[in-house]
């Protein structure tokens, strides 16, 4: 007897004595099995062909990828083991040019304290997650989780990306990339990602460092960023607005020497109002007064002629330059405040 693969398909020629697929599926025996003493040969051949064809295909697959003949010796354990080895070899063959690496979540802590396992961001293992403290060398100087992963396999493994999140005092994101070119091999600087957590468009559409910011509308209604929660605004008179619940203007200077008030401007970049700001030294409340700005030095077409009212005779009354006025309709002023210490 041949010791070659002896799982062979049965009744596979074009002239095989088998029932058609349609008749086979209509057969009552498909559900109940063959009745006693009434087995039709062409139906039996169909059953044998279906089962033996599948067995033959599987056996040939095993023989091809396991390197061993597949014999009908009834040893199911051996056959199962051969199938597992064949599947493993098939996978290895198909992905032989791919470096299968996974993201490791083994504990890596970057910093300079008793909880730290390493002190340098550059030494974080490739393709791994980590937690970082601000004191970690070559880091962005924040608390939070991060991940380092490479760009692929072979030489591409040297092109890497590191992403660092922080949760104190708010959610922000940092990243840096590693230049894997042969004669360079170095990390680029860290960059902060601008998002709705740390930036917003001001009244003129320019992206600005945001929190904590108060947006004031002409009627004194207002919106707050999350860090400015608790601050209130009141329109106390025409052109006068009072901001309470803060400790003056933001002290980090991100919006300029006064901490930050952004006023609406026209399409030529000319401000539409003047503002006079004052801070109550005892309470930290801010008072903002708005005055009409006509921009008389600009060409006539660019001057800000703002209608104040229309009298009974139909005459249009305009604001005078420097006259107290509300914030222009449809616009806001943005004020960056200093939250009170908690």
To the nearest 10 degrees (0 to 180), the angle between helices 76-94 and 41-66 is 60
| Window from 143-152, 229-238, 268-277 with minimum mean pLDDT | 143-152
Q: What is the per-residue pLDDT across 56-87, written as a single tens digit (0 to 9) for each?
A: 888 888 888 888 888 888 888 888 888 888 88
Longest dimension (CA), the chain: 120
Closest Cα to residue 217, out of 342, 329, 65? 329
Residue 96 has pLDDT above 70, yes or no: no
More confident residue, 146 or 64: 146
Confidence at residue 310, expressed as pLDDT on a 0 to 100 scale: 93
299 — pLDDT class (breaks 50, 70, 90): very high
Residue 39 has pLDDT above 60, yes or no: yes
Residue partners of 181: CB distance under 8 A and separation at least 6: none
Mean of pLDDT over the chain: 87
* Model pTM score: 0.51
Q: How many CB atoms lie within 10 A of CB 212?
A: 19
DSSP 303: S
Residue partners of 19: CB distance under 8 A and separation at least 6: 27, 40, 42, 43, 45, 46
What kind and span of H or E run contains 82?
helix 76-94
Q: How far is CA 30 from the centre of its chain?
A: 54
Q: Taking residues 260-270, report their average pLDDT.
A: 91
More confident residue, 102 or 293: 293
Confidence at residue 101, expressed as pLDDT on a 0 to 100 scale: 61
Confidence at residue 1, expressed as pLDDT on a 0 to 100 scale: 45
Confidence at residue 147, expressed as pLDDT on a 0 to 100 scale: 95
Residue 43 has pLDDT above 80, yes or no: yes
Tokens of 299: 């060409």
* Range from 11-20, 162-171, 269-278 that averages highest in pLDDT: 269-278
Q: What is the per-residue pLDDT across 218-259, written as a single tens digit (0 to 9) for each?
A: 999 999 887 788 999 999 999 999 999 999 998 877 776 566
Residue 139 has pLDDT above 80, yes or no: yes
Tokens of 31: 């559900």
| Window from 40-44, 137-141, 209-213, 274-278 with minimum mean pLDDT | 209-213
Q: How many CB atoms lie within 10 A of CB 24?
A: 17
Q: Taking residues 33-51, report their average pLDDT.
A: 85
Closest Cα to residue 338, out of 235, 219, 273, 254? 254
Say which residue the tokens 């992403």 belong to: 163
154 — pLDDT class (breaks 50, 70, 90): confident
Tokens of 334: 């943005």
Confidence at residue 256, expressed as pLDDT on a 0 to 100 scale: 66
Residue 99 has pLDDT above 90, yes or no: no
Q: Taking residues 146-160, report their average pLDDT.
A: 86
Tokens of 260: 């930050």
Tokens of 178: 């590693």
Residue 120 has pLDDT above 90, yes or no: yes
């Amino acid at each position: 007897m041949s010791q070659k693969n002896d799982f062979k398909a049965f009744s596979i020629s074009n002239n095989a004595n088998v029932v058609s697929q349609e008749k086979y599926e209509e057969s009552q025996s498909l559900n109940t099995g063959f009745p006693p003493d009434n087995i039709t040969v062409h139906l039996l051949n169909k059953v044998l062909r279906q089962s033996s064809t599948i067995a033959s295909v599987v056996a040939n697959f095993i023989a091809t990828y396991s390197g061993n003949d597949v014999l009908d010796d009834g040893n199911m354990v051996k056959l199962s083991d051969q199938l597992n080895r064949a599947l493993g070899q098939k996978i290895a063959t198909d992905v032989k040019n791919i470096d299968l690496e996974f993201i490791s979540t083994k504990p890596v802590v970057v910093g300079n304290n008793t909880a730290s396992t390493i002190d340098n961001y550059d030494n974080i293992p490739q393709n791994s997650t980590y937690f970082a403290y601000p004191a970690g060398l070559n880091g962005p100087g924040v608390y939070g989780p991060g991940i380092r992963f490479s760009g692929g396999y072979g030489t591409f493994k040297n092109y890497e990306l590191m992403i660092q999140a922080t949760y104190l005092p708010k959610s922000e994101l940092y990243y840096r990339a590693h230049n894997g070119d042969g004669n360079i091999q170095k990390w680029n600087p860290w960059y902060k990602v601008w998002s709705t957590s740390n930036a917003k468009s001001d009244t003129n559409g320019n992206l600005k460092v945001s929190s904590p910011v108060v947006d004031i509308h002409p009627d004194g209604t207002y919106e707050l960023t999350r860090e400015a929660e608790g601050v209130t605004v009141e329109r106390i008179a025409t052109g006068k607005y009072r901001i309470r619940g803060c400790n003056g203007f933001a002290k980090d200077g991100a919006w300029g020497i006064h901490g930050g008030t952004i006023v609406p401007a026209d399409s030529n970049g000319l401000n539409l109002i003047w503002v006079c700001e004052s801070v109550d030294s005892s309470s930290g409340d801010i008072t903002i007064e708005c005055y009409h700005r006509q921009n008389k030095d600009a060409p006539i077409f660019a001057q800000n002629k703002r209608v104040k009212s229309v009298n009974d005779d139909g005459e249009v009354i305009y604001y005078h330059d420097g006259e107290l006025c509300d914030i222009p309709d449809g616009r806001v002023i943005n004020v960056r405040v200093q939250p009170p210490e908690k």
